[in-house]
Amino acid sequence: MRVLVIRAHPLDSSKSRSMAMADVFLEELLSSHPDASVDDVRLYETAVPEIDLDMMTGWERLADGEHFSHLTGPQQNKLALFDQYTKQFQAADLVVIANPLWNLSVPTRLKAWIDTISRAGVTFRYTEDGAAEGLVKGKTVVHLQASGGHFDQQDPACLYIRGMFSFLGCEVHTVAAEGMDHEPDRAEQILQEAHDRVRELARGL
């Protein structure tokens, strides 16, 4: 099993609830799959290219037939890194995404990473009648999210992750630790219950 872990928080598990959930999941998964290979990507400790002018003009030049070596240095670097993230995602059997809910959305670094793996003609395509079809088959995505309020996994971030990866063709499982700021006296209990659900999910994969 090839596992890709995407951590979308600048803090580590000692201070981030979502990162602690990721650690619990990995520990349980590796106890039953000791031979699994893990790529642990910390988005706030690495470059994640955003779709900007360099990338758009670089793609345009390539589409016009220019050789990659003729692109500018920034264009080459960003496009190469963009492709690297796409291939890393394609190679994984299991993708684990851990993030906080920030302002009813995912962290911007996570959105930028998702752009690198949502690619027409690569991970989805348009059919002859113009409908979109996911091309990622047989891949499981586990979404781990922590939030201060209660949303019953219906917040925009959960819906976005579930919708995007289902669209690509993945099987999506979500575990959300919710309400820890709304009920601070129960925060530890809420997180522990989420850890239990995370362990149960990991054992079933």
Task: Point out the annotated binding site for FMN.
Answer: 16-18
Summarize the annotated binding site as residue ranges: 16-18
Cα–Cα distance between 13 and 140 in angstroms, integer? Answer: 23
- DSSP for 119-188 reads -BTTTEEE-TTS-EEE---S-EEEEEEE-SS--TT-SHHHHHHHHHHHHHT-EEEEEEE--TTTSGGGHH
Contact between residue 145 and residue 101 where contact means Cβ atoms under 8 Å apart: yes
What burial class does residue 70 get, using C-beta atoms within 10 Å of its C-beta: 0-12 exposed, 13-18 middle, 19+ buried?
Answer: exposed
Residues 6+ apart with CB under 8 A from 101: 145, 146, 147, 148, 149, 151, 155, 157, 158
Other beta carbons within 10 angstroms of residue 18's beta carbon come to 24
Q: Interior CA angle at 137 toward 24 and 156, to 5°?
A: 60
